[in-house]
Structure 1
Amino acid sequence: MLSDQQLRQAADTYGTPLYTYDAQELDAALARVQAAFPGARIYYAMKANPNLTLLRRLYGAGVGFECVSLGELGRAAHIGASGDRVLVNGPAKSDEEYRLGGELGATFIVDRPGEVALLPPASSVLVRVNPALSVSTHDHLATGAAHSKFGVRPDQLPDLLAALASGGHRLRGLHLHIGSAIRDAADFRAAFGRVAELSRVTGPLEVLDVGGGWGLDADLGGIAAEARQAAAAFGAQLWVEPGRYLVARSGVLLTRVMGTKATGRDFTLLDAGMTELLRPMLYGAEHPVRALWEGAPGVSDLAGPACESGDLLGRDVTLPAGAQRGDLLAILEAGAYGAAMSSTYLTRPRPAEALWDGQTWTLIRQREPLEAIWAAEEAAG
């Protein structure tokens, strides 16, 4: 965990709002996954955090990438990933995504029957299955529910497999991902059990990809044991796709106090808000915080600078009282879907990002210059 001194150094050097990452925590998270899933192939769900420095570190450790957009495929190609190091996922892939995925020799995750006709010739394929489960997470993060837009119904599987065979494609296996930030390991047990039943339809397969979505405090060993049992039903190799689990705890959003106020509630006003960290507003996500000032405990809402009532990074947060303008607050577990979802709404520059390698800080993304925000508009004139 980064110390107060290290965080102050980063904020003083690069300003705030600022995303910081601890390389040692990133490495430790990957080691936990490798230990829990020995022999499994690991693909990082790039949408969690696509910073090139982090991608190169993971790629150098043998990790592949699960990509869900043309831009993510472009990033994978930019750092040299191809073939079995790349998966192409998503429910509505573009022609450009099929083209680039085909050029890279990637494996496509087929999400609907109509997609078979769109695949490049002789594609390698996993078929994503929707297990129709309600799981212990926010509804916006539940991707394996019957009402979600993801995956094929089990009853659609025989015809889809026949279409793949007649189209000359290589079926490698099945894919399953039931959501993100899942709190109850029993959800995975139920999902793995349902997909294992499909071995009666598919016969032996090369791969069972069970996705990711594990909560940060999940029992990975128990989940992995259930996953291996499901893979054994197909005689398949296990693939996994952690995203948030790998990067969340490595990341801290540093923000400074702009002031305090009281209306019907007490507010601590910050220089970071929904444009830097959207998860609280989007998912109702709750992030641990660490105040870098001292005082008797108090309770406050964390309010960002946007003219939006929903621009809150936390409700009823315990903080030291007496915060002064310029005091530093660390918002923890922010390495996933923080910088990746940051925006230029209100023409606010996206924050800089810095990496601590155990000895020094390195800037791994510059703060966005104001002029860069409107450069494309000037170029169109």
Structure 2
Amino acid sequence: MAEAPPPCRGQDPSVAALLAVRPALSMHAMDGLVLEDVPLNAIADALGTPTWVMSAGTLRTRYRHLAAAFRATGQAVSIHFAVKANDHLAVLRVLAAEGAGADVVSGGELRRAMAAGIPAGRIVFSGVGKTVVEMQAALRVGIAQINVESAEELELLSIVAQAEGLEAPVALRINPDVDAGTHAKITTGLATNKFGIPYNRAVELYAHAASLPGIRPVGLAMHIGSQIVRMQPYRTAYARLAALVHAIRARGLKVDVLDCGGGLGISYRDETEGAPEALAAAIHTELGGLDTHLAIEPGRWLAGPAGVLLSTVILRKRGYDGMPPFLVLDAAMNDLMRPSLYDAWHGIIPLAAATAAAKEEQVHVVGPVCESGDTFGHDRTLPHMEAGARVALLDCGAYGMVMSSTYNARPLAAQVMVDGSRWAVIRERQTVEELWAADSIPQWVNQTLLPSGGGL
């Protein structure tokens, strides 16, 4: 779930430019880089690096901004946080306290959301491959809505609901065949994508759903992609959704809910961030007069700017003659996968004020994993740094820790949450021993070892 780098627009933003549009971050002469009121060096001193840090204040501020934008239209909208963006219980609890529901795509996410205090009645279940067990779990807890993505899934859900003696509240997720103008791997509303029901089959399938035992069709859902910063794709998709509502109601069927999806983009480099006010206006204009309950599923826009990844320069490696040097960090692609998977761009800021003010140079920023793709940026313009310098990789609160792995036998990094001047560890750093704690060796495996000092 990540976007391609923006087209080259000249030199990378400076430290000052990056800080200017990130109000939770500031640079203090003595304390260095501060998130809310917590010096990030204090966290690195206590826990080491790499370490993830989430800002509770940023989560609240952005949620309230989003909610206010929709209130201003006079249209009530339910906000369901996309748990796939960041599934930590502390993150979910902060958003739940603000009134957020959840959009989940697995049985595990359903259980996580409920464990964080989000009631099943505020949870919608999306995804193209729900299993029978996941369907059963969702029905048994009284989930608000299941977003069905195919005719085949609808038939299976009918069977499961009948066996459970329950009724499944269903929204059909429609694929409008609209280009969101984003990276091919995170667009979800084209006919070539695996997601959703083909637009031209939606009316007939909705009518069929109304005839199925155990199925209660409540409305329609749509999600066209992620990291969207232009409103035209939304407006086009929502206009198509409105046309479906009219066509379905012409059959004498009820449409009570419209789930408008998520995908609102943020500014990683120097893009124009997606504006909640513009999204609210697009939804209100295209769908506001249909007398339905509206819902959205934001993820990245809420959580992305709330998180940073702290890392330390292990060494400065000289490049070939005339080529930039390599800054090798102790964070790697197993921690933050987005740059290596999608060439995604993340701002990088030194934690020390003096380092942040150093003369700029071009460098390659890489990790220590044994893959050429383990890189955070080629030809990046950054202040001069030597081994031991600490940095923060910005805007890592969405699709960061949640996508981490233990590749190269690298333990998962520690996680911290800050709130004003307070901070707390919300997940301890994994130990090396924990990497194999669940491993077992079958008795029939030959366990004869080479004698001490033996070789090939």
Q: 1:236 aligns with which of 289, 292, 302?
A: 292
Does structure 1 conserve the Cα–Cα contact (< 8 Å) formed by 2:177 and 2:199? no
Distance in structure 2 (CA, Å) of the matches to 1:9 and 1:244: 27
Residue 379 (structure 1) shift: 8.1
Residue 9 (structure 1) shift: 0.8
Distance in structure 1 (CA, Å) of the matches to 2:45 and 2:336: 21
- Residue deviations 1:166-213, cap 9 Å, x none? 224221111111111113221111111121111222225211111110
**Alignment correspondent of 2:401:** 339
**Alignment correspondent of 1:271:** 330
Does structure 1 conserve the Cα–Cα contact (< 8 Å) formed by 2:59 and 2:94? no
Distance in structure 2 (CA, Å) of the matches to 1:373 and 1:259: 26
Distance in structure 1 (CA, Å) of the matches to 2:442 and 2:387: 40
Secondary structure of the 1:234 match is coil
Distance in structure 2 (CA, Å) of the matches to 1:165 and 1:205: 11
Distance in structure 2 (CA, Å) of the matches to 1:185 and 1:66: 22
Distance in structure 2 (CA, Å) of the matches to 1:250 and 1:221: 20
Structure 2 residue 340 is the aligned partner of structure 1 residue 281: yes
**Alignment correspondent of 2:53:** 20
Secondary structure of the 1:29 match is helix
TM-score by length of 1: 0.96
Q: Which amino acid aligns with 1:16?
A: T
**Alignment correspondent of 2:18:** none
Q: Which amino acid aligns with 1:282?
A: L
TM-score by length of 2: 0.80
Distance in structure 2 (CA, Å) of the matches to 1:177 and 1:130: 8
**Alignment correspondent of 2:30:** none
Q: Which amino acid aligns with 2:61?
A: A
Residue 324 (structure 1) shift: 1.8
**Alignment correspondent of 2:183:** 138
Distance in structure 1 (CA, Å) of the matches to 2:313 and 2:442: 38
Distance in structure 1 (CA, Å) of the matches to 2:379 and 2:393: 15
Q: Which amino acid aligns with 2:49?
A: T
**Alignment correspondent of 1:147:** 192
Residue 219 (structure 1) shift: 2.1
Distance in structure 1 (CA, Å) of the matches to 2:399 and 2:209: 34
- Residue deviations 1:332-362, cap 9 Å, x none? 0100000000101111111111011101110
Secondary structure of the 1:198 match is helix
Secondary structure of the 2:436 match is helix
Q: Which amino acid aligns with 1:369?
A: T
**Alignment correspondent of 2:270:** none
Distance in structure 1 (CA, Å) of the matches to 2:135 and 2:387: 51
Structure 2 residue 256 is the aligned partner of structure 1 residue 211: no
**Alignment correspondent of 2:124:** 87
Distance in structure 2 (CA, Å) of the matches to 1:125 and 1:87: 10
Does structure 1 conserve the Cα–Cα contact (< 8 Å) formed by 2:148 and 2:171? yes
**Alignment correspondent of 2:93:** 56
Structure 2 residue 68 is the aligned partner of structure 1 residue 35: yes
**Alignment correspondent of 1:195:** 241
Distance in structure 2 (CA, Å) of the matches to 1:23 and 1:9: 18
Q: Which amino acid aligns with 2:344?
A: A
Task: Report how many residues are paired.
Answer: 380
Q: 1:172 aligns with which of 218, 223, 226?
A: 218
**154-163 vs 49-58, greater mean Cα deviation:** 154-163
Does structure 2 conserve the Cα–Cα contact (< 8 Å) formed by 1:228 and 1:238? no
**Alignment correspondent of 1:295:** 358
Q: Which amino acid aligns with 1:339?
A: M
Q: Residues 165 and 70 from structure 1, CA distance in 2 versus in 1: closer, same or farther, beyond 3 angstroms?
A: same
Secondary structure of the 1:272 match is coil
Does structure 2 conserve the Cα–Cα contact (< 8 Å) formed by 1:134 and 1:142? yes
Distance in structure 1 (CA, Å) of the matches to 2:174 and 2:392: 39
Secondary structure of the 2:439 match is helix
Which sections of structure 1, spanning at least 5 residues, go unmatched? none
Distance in structure 2 (CA, Å) of the matches to 1:32 and 1:349: 36
Secondary structure of the 1:376 match is coil
Aligned residues: percent identity?
A: 37
Residue 241 (structure 1) shift: 0.5
**126-135 vs 285-294, greater mean Cα deviation:** 285-294
**Alignment correspondent of 2:380:** 317
Q: Which amino acid aligns with 2:91?
A: L
Q: 2:110 aligns with which of 73, 80, 86?
A: 73
Structure 2 residue 403 is the aligned partner of structure 1 residue 353: no
Residue 325 (structure 1) shift: 1.5
Greater helix content:
1
Secondary structure of the 1:305 match is coil
Does structure 1 conserve the Cα–Cα contact (< 8 Å) formed by 2:366 and 2:374? yes
Structure 2 residue 205 is the aligned partner of structure 1 residue 160: yes
Q: Residues 100 and 319 from structure 1, CA distance in 2 versus in 1: closer, same or farther, beyond 3 angstroms?
A: same
Q: Which amino acid aligns with 1:22?
A: S
Secondary structure of the 2:345 match is coil
RMSD: 1.6
Which sections of structure 2, spanning at least 5 residues, go unmatched? 1-23, 27-32, 267-272, 444-456
Residue 162 (structure 1) shift: 2.4
Distance in structure 2 (CA, Å) of the matches to 1:126 and 1:139: 25
Greater Rg, structure 1 or structure 2?
A: 2
Distance in structure 1 (CA, Å) of the matches to 2:62 and 2:434: 34
- Residue deviations 1:254-281, cap 9 Å, x none? 1100111213542111001110101112
Residue 243 (structure 1) shift: 0.3
- Residue deviations 1:7-39, cap 9 Å, x none? 111111111101101111111110111011222
